[in-house]
Amino acid sequence: MQFYNLIIRDLKLAFYSSTNFLLAASFLILILILIPFVFGSNVSNFSLLFRGFIWISIALSILLTLDRVFNSDYEDGNLDTIILTQIPIELIVFAKFISHWIANCIPIIIVIPLAGILFEIGIQDSLNIITNVLAGSPGMVFIGSAISALTLGSKRAGIYKTIIIIPLYIPFIIFGADQESSLVLLGLSMIAGVFSLFISVYSLRLYAE
């Protein structure tokens, strides 16, 4: 119940500041819009490359939103309050992961068929991409949130956080671009979830002291 309440609280926060909710999805579309300007407007060429483009844009959109997982709570002091409650800290962190995933990756997944229409991707392929994104994006969110929790205290975290996170995304992008690896992606996400939970709890305890 507490877990549920935490998720609802974060989702409400994301929803009421409506720009946040739409940021990741619109960023994804905007990156995809740039592609025809680079490679010309003959869309039928892109069906092969689309899978790659979409994974790169998803990685970038998730990177863009990571500031909001722990930073706002850290800055206004809410984090200390949440940690001082009776709820185990692991549960809090996991709720944050899940609500962040719902708030940012569900819009992305909704937008993907739309992008598929823009680039003349068939329904079958779109569905396949969506399955992969469903399996892979939680892991990417978990890892990104863990690293941003670790670098909360640094003023210039935004710059070098990406240097740490992008190498960790490479496996997801590799398997994401492959059609038949959604199970591998799911496994990767689970492993990433466990490790990220440890790292986030460690770093939040560090900052709450």
Dist. CA 106–CA 186, nearest whole Å: 16
Residue type at position 136: G
Q: Which residues bind another protein (CB under 8 A)?
A: 147, 150-151, 153-157, 159-160, 163-164, 167-168, 170-171, 174-175, 178, 195, 199, 202-203, 206
Taking the least distance from each CB to another protein, the nearer of 112 and 157 is 157
CB 117 within 8 A of CB 82: no
Nearest CB to another protein, comparing residues 75 and 178: 178
Compare residues 24 and 58 and give the one whose CB is closer to another protein: 58
| 14 versus 143: smaller Cβ distance to another protein | 143
For 59, the token pair is 């990685």
Cα(60)–Cα(162) distance, integer angstroms: 10
Q: How far is the CB of 98 from another protein (least distance, A)?
A: 22
Report, in Å, the least distance between residue 56 CB and another protein.
14
| List of long-range contacts for 159-167, beta carbons under 8 Å, 24+ apart | 161/66, 162/63, 165/63, 165/66, 166/59, 166/63
The letter for the amino acid at 209 is: E
Tell me the closest approach of the beta carbon of residue 92 to another protein, in angstroms.
19
CB of 129 to another protein, least distance (A): 16
